[in-house]
Structure 1
Amino acid sequence: MIQYYQNASPPPEFTVSPFPSPWDYIPSYYEKKEVMEVNILAFIATALFILVPTAFLLIIYVKTASQND
């Protein structure tokens, strides 16, 4: 258990921030406080754009690293 001195201030609370959140500038989020919708096709396209080249390069690396020269 942590004991504080009598004159010491308690630790700061990080729930309140003096800086505005980037979410405060989005009108639909500010009014409704709802999570934004995600376009599923864009999500799939982005995932494939990252995963396919990564898998291709990983296969090439494993194939060349396993060769005994």
Structure 2
Amino acid sequence: MNIQITGVNMRYKDDAIDSVHVQFKAANEGRSININGYILLTAEQYSGNEAISALEELVRNEVATKIMEEPCL
């Protein structure tokens, strides 16, 4: 799955990062599966993971977790 970070928006509180929205889009090689959305990170989760490759890995893990947690309809 190819994941692309499309935006990073930081919310501040008392002049410090409070939370971070990481927008992404993803598709498999044949583009038969497309996913887009955002994940919400705390300042602690974001700290040390500012590199694009680290954010992509956080997105990959969060999406996989959400897919496995949600019941099938």
Structure-1-length-normalised TM-score? 0.29
Structure with greater strand percent: 2
Structure-2-length-normalised TM-score? 0.28
Structure with greater helix percent: 1
Larger Rg: 1
